[in-house]
Amino acid sequence: MPNKLDFKTVEIEGKKYLEKSFTKVMAIADYGRVLIKGSDVSREANLQIDFDIDQSKEYVMLKGFLNNKLIPGTNVPAKDSYGDVPTGANVYDIARLKSNPIALCNHQNDASMIAGNFIYLQETAQGLQFKEILRPLDEIFEDCTKDVVSAWAKGWGKAYSIGGRWLYDAELSRPEDNYYVLVKAILHEASHVAIGADQWALSAAPDTSDAMKGKEAPSLTLDEAIDKFIESKDTKFLDLAYAGQKGN
């Protein structure tokens, strides 16, 4: 997926300049659920794997973002249901989660509620990227956990939520506007949930069209729009390409 080239006018010491910068656009491939062989699990990981792996067995791997700094596919800051806007290059303190990278069901701190293990956690410009291996259904005895694992494995469920301590910039936050600049998220755990506070914290590529209504549409060349359509099968990219050609 091509990166986005942004232009803006800035003024320095009374003189105007045209400034350009590149924004890395989130790839659809960063999201999804796939079946992988046990022998391939370690290749996907950047965390230590402590659970038993059957090298010949297939596992369900989910990938996406546990939390977002930007609305996916844009350079627009992401704001969750609580008004939190993660801001900065080092927002997520994941030391505790990395040492015990379990994925819980519904924030229930119960050993029987472990749905899987995170094998990859990495902060990017987009947010906190993850890869998770779901527990095999035949090894789960708790009905609720079986239900969650089955739902996420088949795509019925896709949302995540993080739990921990949140620290905000006191000067930049505006409580009266429900706008809180989150500068440090100290993660204790991450969970599968039906609906998360961060609507883009998913294991499936999100549709951001509603979120971007009223905002400036991304500027795409014809080739870029066609590439996006081929990758996502979303016809809105063809509309953008057509609109761009009409404007030329």
State the pLDDT at residue 229: 60
State the pLDDT at residue 217: 45
Phi-psi bin for 171: left (phi > 0), alpha (psi -120 to 50), beta?
A: alpha
Record the tokens describing residue 54, joined without a space: 């059957």
Task: Determine the Cα–Cα distance for residues 131 and 34; give it in Å rounded to an integer.
Answer: 11
Per-residue pLDDT of the chain (248 residues), as tens digits, is 455 556 677 788 888 777 765 555 667 789 999 999 999 999 999 999 999 999 999 999 999 999 999 999 888 899 999 999 999 999 999 999 999 999 999 999 999 999 999 999 999 999 999 999 999 999 999 999 999 999 999 999 999 999 999 999 999 999 999 999 999 999 999 999 999 999 999 999 988 877 666 554 455 566 666 666 666 555 555 555 544 444 44
* DSSP conformation letters of 110-158: -GGGEEEEEEEEEE-SSEEEEEEEEPPGGG---HHHHHHHHHHHHTS--
Structural domain spans, the chain? 31-206
State the pLDDT at residue 83: 96
State the pLDDT at residue 63: 97
Rounded to two decimals, what is the model's pTM? 0.77
Record the tokens describing residue 83, joined without a space: 């008004």
State the pLDDT at residue 130: 98
Record the tokens describing residue 236, joined without a space: 């809105």
Torsion angles phi and psi, residue 75, rounded to 5? -110, 25
pLDDT digits (tens, 9 = 90+) for 55-67: 999 999 999 999 9
